[in-house]
Amino acid sequence: MFDFSIITNWLHQSLLSVMPEVWAVVLECVIVGVCIILMYATLAIILIYGERKICAFFQCRLGPNRVGKWGCIQVVADVFKMLTKEIITPNQVDKFLYKLAPYMVILASFLTFACLPFNKGAEILDFNVGIFFLLAVSGIGVIGILLAGWGSNNKFSLIGAMRSGAQIISYELSVGLSMLTMVVLMGTMQFSQIVEEQADGWFLFKGHIPALIAFIIYLIAGNAECNRGPFDLPEAESELTAGYHTEYSGMNFGFFYLAEYLNLFIVSSVAATVFLGGWMPLHIVGLDGFNAVMDYIPGFIWFFGKAFFVVFLLMWIKWTFPRLRIDQILTLEWKYLLPISLVNLVLMVLIVVTGFHF
């Protein structure tokens, strides 16, 4: 398994040979920031195109098929269109809050995106409290949504923001408890160690039934966190026109659009890291030949393969189930998912204490 820290250490030493350490660190931060932005934009284009094609497949349509072969350049054309659109600011908005909201949403998305371990040695933010940090900074996004609804001075935007705030804050409990259940099994909150611990088997299989329950709850709650169907009531076009971003245009709207799709990828990547081994290949104890073959596949291919598999599952859910009402959304969380998560956490503690896990 190739270790990207070899490249980063070589780059660091090369920069130190030609400039002071302070400037070397600053330049490294700039390089990392540019890489994050490029990867962020590329993944957004891939996810938007993938959703259009998957949606078309479920609805027996072709999807984009005009611009480029199989319509693969359609999203690129839409990006250029978005960049050239005029940014219109309505007269009655709170201009400071209105303009701040998209940046709050995109900031939360960037910070959580930087926590993902793409490969061995390719962790940008690798804290010993990584899961805690990720859950903390992901909560900044709901502040941006609430600011967008309030600052727009529009009743549809305000209703959408209130729905989204109630939904995200509620389902954060199930996401957090699912993660806490796995932390009990893993014994650490550092993402690099989490992946290393799954060298002899992914936690989804090592944690017995509680790990499977936590995985299912995480997928449901993570889908709700992203405001995606069937939990897309905050953006219900049939009644709220566009929800909390009704009054936004141009790249301000583009920030909300990008953050939604990248949040989908982040939720899927965290699921792939915590439950499915992240960049760690599939290893089966006793099958050394099979494990050696799996090790030839680069870690980042394993990571993105698992992440896009979970993305497909979430898209499948969106285009299969009808939209839920707000009372149904909150009933599902407070009466079903939250109690099940609490019982599941206690069950995982018992399994770990008794040493019943693999």
Instruction: Say whether pLDDT at 238 is over 90.
Output: no
pLDDT score at 155? 85
The pLDDT of 268-276, averaged and rounded, is 93
- Give the mean model confidence (pLDDT) for residues 135-150: 89
pLDDT of residue 11: 86
Cα dihedral value 161, 162, 163, 169, nearest 10: 100
Task: Please report the pLDDT score of residue 216 as a whole number.
Answer: 95
Mean pLDDT of 251-270: 89
Confidence grade of residue 243 (pLDDT, cut at 50, 70, 90): confident
- Per-residue pLDDT band for 357 (boundaries 50, 70, 90) equals low
pLDDT tens digit sequence for 292-323: 888 888 888 999 999 999 999 999 998 888 88
Predicted structure pTM score = 0.91
Q: Tell me, what's the pLDDT at 1?
A: 65
State the pLDDT at residue 156.
Answer: 84
Integer Cα distance of 50 and 63 in angstroms = 10
Say whether pLDDT at 341 is over 80: yes
Per-residue pLDDT of 5-55, as tens digits, reads: 888 888 888 888 888 888 888 898 898 889 888 998 899 899 999 999 999
Q: Phi-psi region for residue 248, left (φ > 0), alpha (ψ -120 to 50) or beta?
A: beta
Closest to 214 in 3D by CA, of 302, 276, 140: 276
Give per-residue pLDDT as tens, 75-122: 889 888 888 888 888 888 888 999 899 999 999 998 999 889 988 888
- Determine the pLDDT at residue 220: 93
**pLDDT class for 358, splitting at 50, 70, 90?**
low
Mean pLDDT of the chain: 88
Residue pair 178/217 in contact by the 8 Å Cβ criterion: yes
The pLDDT of 246-268, averaged and rounded, is 88
Per-residue pLDDT band for 183 (boundaries 50, 70, 90) equals very high
Q: Can you give the pLDDT at residue 85?
A: 84
Q: Which of 278, 265, 268, 264 is nearest to 191 (CA)?
A: 278
How far is the C-alpha of 245 from the C-alpha of 260, rounded, in Å?
A: 12
Q: Residue 119 in contact with residue 2, Cβ under 8 Å?
A: yes
Spatial distance between the Cα atoms of 289 and 354, rounded to a whole number of angstroms: 33
Asked whether residue 250 carries a pLDDT value surpassing 80, the answer given is: yes
Give the range among 74-88, 226-240, 263-277 with minimum mean pLDDT: 226-240
